[in-house]
Amino acid sequence: MPQEKERIRAGRIEVRFLLESKDSNGQLAMFEFTVPAGAKVPPPHSHMHYDETIYGLEGVMTFTVNGLSADIVAGETCFIPRGAVHGFNNLKPVNAKGLAVVTRLSSGPIISGRWQPSSKPAARRIWRKSKR
């Protein structure tokens, strides 16, 4: 029987890992994340050591990647190449949920920009799970 994965709260976002890096020999990590209605999170940031692909599950999230914005709804994807400055929000009246897949993990800091994994306990747990 599958074991319930830990739910991590990072500010207003809830993250639930489905596959950790340690489960894929460091090749990828996958997690669901829920963004509450009206949330503007996280601040713009970039990932220098991996690519990220978002798949919309519920609601609408607006992703901004390198200055270009797009609404992602259920069934749509957003590819964020390593190094791209990005952020997202949910300014709609209902919660939104997405699936994130991070690929080609390598050593080094996982996030650069204003939001650092060392700044908050929940962020450090997310960083560790995606690196294992």
Give residue limits of the domains in the chain. 7-117
Give the C-alpha separation, 131 to 4, whole Å.
Answer: 20
The fourth-level CATH superfamily of domain 7-117 is Jelly Rolls (2.60.120.10)
Both tokens of 11, joined, read 């500010």
Q: What global pTM score does this model have? A: 0.77
Give me the average pLDDT of each 10-residue run along the chain (132 residues). 70 88 83 92 85 96 94 96 93 96 65 39 50 48
